[in-house]
Structure 1
């Protein structure tokens, strides 16, 4: 039987001081600054952000994809500040093929931060580069993707992390789905032989164009061809599922989705979820994330997830627009945490919770930039932004 967890007071979601206090203050031009003879080799660590929310004791590990600006060790404090019980991050630039190697100082600072804030590596979900396409039939381009992929895995191992989430890839219109699936599996096998422990976590996709992963069967076929099945898993993105035709809005349909996934892939492979609402309707094949309860999926679907014991103990990561304002995620995490054991017949009801999200998003829209997680590259000439987003995994 599910243990009812009280909805935490939402006034904890908002800072007691202005947001400006969350960022280090710049020195005024009038302050005397002595220029050091040599650049410091110390790890860059930002001032600890002020906590906006307390972390709950929920068995459902809700978090967000937080910024690692200034050094990946900063992601840990950023996650703790919004009350996250899990978090995602990029272990290097998601828009570059290569990045400087991690220093021992950075690695030590990251591990110390995990210990300080009490995060279990099983609840941290690094996200792979958007450039990676292991399904590309062009051997030269696929090798470029594989090298980036392998570098990510080695970084995760150096940091003591257990999981690594990535988009499977695309046929780019030059191979069959089956051929690309085999290429993806072979790359995973090669990477497993070159590393020791990190679990490679395949993400389901929205089903657009030539992209692999919109159908659970695609994920199952990749896993079938992976030699070490203890090192492969799946991350289910709610927006992607919905866009690909899986309707999780009704409880019976959600249960049917989980049953289908278990039959086709296996629940033992479910290692994480991305919790995102959708800007576009069911079966749109478009990947457009919306804040929780404000899109076409609606908050009821997330109530199904946050009361399903099968979703306990894995990272449940928000990738919703934050508008550069941390209280957005703090509020969404508090709402999601509060759904566990929430009485749908209560006086406030889900509508009241949605209004709380809408209120903080409205404030944030007036003072921030949209979409803190992974900014999209500028649109290519002759291509609309939406078209480029749909094909972002097909370029290489």
Structure 2
């Protein structure tokens, strides 16, 4: 019998495990992951950015958790000697029409209590000499890290405190049994007093196994990247972002220097035909059918048809992808770029076609389900974990340590 079972061994599941260990040091805790390694999907394929929180609606969970999470993530990395760097980033307007949106973003940064500064094109080039722009914002708190290393440390701390981790363990069924729940898996049954669903790309399906309707469906979007050849890395010193379209849910292609000094360019954002579809040819009939028959998808597609078509063109045309990058750095040429790994974003979509634009955490009977936690979930992971544990009804059989 376990006190808590966490479904999902990504960064949110593992941060929740740590938070549980902090609050309930005597609890019996299990984290189960269906893959053969932790942080295999969203966490292990993300951009490695410690985000500032500048983009998110003031007062939202994303804004609060990301701002606080960027600080706690840096502190965690410092404490545990994990390679990271608070290098800052620039967000630039490449034409006059983007300047009002840049100004709105600057004001949002101030509203979110983030250290931001307006900078001139000349000041941008002092930071990023190869950028072409008409204005910019300097965001000081943005950083870079390897989130797989962060997850390894989370897992190590859970085990040091008595928690268990089980890999290659897939949940097939959830059965209520009085006040307890039985998880039927391919590795046997596990009985627990409380379930926490952090299953990412499959979080809506796990919620349904628990007889809950999350009122949203996970729609997978693949983000495809190129990498600058080593001899061209000098073109990018830190991180360079365009001004995002506020009506489109993605940030646009950008340049990111990774913690290993490689430089990634991207991503675009295209519908994946498989929830774990990291290649253009990946296809799963069940995943595809769920999306294509979901009214919300067609409403979203109609709303963003022009942007969606451009993303698809960039997916299949390197020349089109390069043109987007040249808006930021005109010197970049197609021969400077080589394909690198893709990621898949688990984005919750409502039936009315609106994207769930905040973290979505749903409470059930003796369960909590994280049904939308895309970027900036990695940055925010320590704060999300604490927030999830704070939502758990008091476990009367367990002494708790509440900070």
Structure 1 and Structure 2 fold alike (TM over 0.5): no
- TM-score (normalizing by structure 2): 0.29
Higher relative contact order (CA 8 A, sep 6+): 2
Q: Which has the higher strand share?
A: 2
